[in-house]
Structure 1
Amino acid sequence: MAKPVVVGVDGSPPSLDAVEVAAHEAALCGTGLRLVHAFGRPSVPLPPGCPPWNPAAAGVRELVDGTLAEAEARARRAAPHVEITREVNLGEPLMVLEIESRTASLVVLGCRGLGAFAGLLLGSTAVHLAAHGHCPVLVVRGRPDPAGPVLLAVDGSPAGERAVEFAFAEASVRGADLLALHVWNTWSERAHEGPGDPLTVVVDVERLREEEQRLLDGTLSPWEARYPGVTVERRLVRARVRPALIEASGEAQLVVAGTRGRGGFTGLLLGSTSQALLHHAHCPVAVVRGPEHREHREHREHRGHRGHREGRRE
């Protein structure tokens, strides 16, 4: 069996929504689901003379058992045949989930949380895992269009190749179309169209557009051959990158992006476009790290084989 899908659980409504999405993902790729709850020690020092903090005595076990039981019930309703396991860890959620990502095919998170997760998810937990995790990270947010395509943010960089692979595999197992959107501009995030466009004064814009089209075509062609059952729409847009992708996410069921594209600074592990999508997209966002981390390859290949079989049946 492929590596399991891991979902962070804290009992909040967003985390329970994430449990359902994670269960669905596990069912699609034929793997197990691991429910993970993390709690830390009290942040305030105990008064002198107090006994050491004991989670059992503090009623933590009963609380966690109830939270995980509710999460498991939601998961079983969403995917009755998925094998489900539970994991409870004492530690900061950031560290616990990063460690869990080492043996996971995918980590799924809600957009906000309670307790130890409160104020962290999206503020830092999702961003941290997207930058430092060892597998793709899917953040459940917005109102996805279940009939919409998988939206792939194409940047043409080597670091984005794994995101392309992930997006094709997701579209295949979901039975969805793939919208490959490549947003390009030059010099700045401001895109000028018309006679006042400063770019037209010094360069041949049409030539640049043709080069960007070749980049888009070259990025997609090898994967279209591997996933013949996936219908692909190629869309080339000259605009501001982040607003264009956020707007396009309104028609999608999932957005897939790499961690850093051609315009990113080399020292940054997570680019501004990925962060903007994590915070503002209208549907769930999957962030996939580049080729320097290949731990999720086994899972992607497993999904790919399933996708090929489905494609042949069509």
Structure 2
Amino acid sequence: MKPGSKTIRGVALACLLACAVSFSPVGAVQPTVVMSGATSAIATGVPGAHVLRDIAYGDHPRQRFDLYLPVTTRRAPLIVIVHGGAWANGDKNHPGLIPEKARHWLPRGYALLSTNYRLVPDASPLDQVRDVAQALAHVKRHAGDWKIDADNIVLLGHSAGAHLVALLAASPDLRGEAQANSVRGAILLDSAAYDVQHVMGKPHPALYDRAFGSDPDDWRAASPFARLSRGAPPMLAVCSTGHLRAACEQAHRFARRAADLDVRVDVLPQDLSHMEINRHLGRPSSYTERIDAFLDHVLAGRGAP
């Protein structure tokens, strides 16, 4: 095989997606509180911030989320974070997922929610996005208890998590299930699965077969490209400009589809790897500044910090 061939790119993409987040077991199923400066490394350098861990939003052990709360005198806008891991792996506590984001956004008055969801083969991507929707509905019901502004929520996902976030944002039916029609925007970190039918109709890594199966009806049902409709919230699709170009190619196709429906999808190419796009977000950089600008835009006049 020649360097740069489609086969090599596909194998490398499969490795990146599958290894994006390694699985670690869920801890205690009852919520626990970890105070800043105590045993939680996540809260280091964020005075007064605290974490509510393993809040149950369903009966399955994977249906748990962690909630990171800032010190604030008013209700905090919420960023809902969905991990990656090829739909079959990953965890809300992965060390590359939260720390930089928490150190950046908690002092700015944002709350963060990092959620787990059931995994392939026990759950399909549609089941998974409904898990995310269920977590979102749960936090909205208890928003007053946690001083969260339920009308100011932005979704953020990486890799497979970006696909789930895009699917939730694109579909009015799924947003309705989550009581999430007030979601203000979505940040999509390096997904290569916006158009699932397109992906499955060409040579692709086996991980897509494990996630999406062989039924074209299932491909369409799980495709943000197919389910996108007018009225969807603005989205920002970040993509790696590395030698694996599938993410940027798909992001631009998704943005063109959105433009036809009067939905705003901006594409933000970055000279970062698939992993770095997730792990570097929150570090001082023009990249983080661009994400902040998107948050300022979608939350303008709606309680943004």
**TM-score, with structure 2 as normaliser:** 0.30
The structure number with the bigger radius of gyration is 1
Write 1 or 2 for the structure with the bigger share of helix: 1
Higher relative contact order (CA closer than 8 Å, sequence separation 6+): 1
Q: TM-score, normalised by structure 1?
A: 0.29
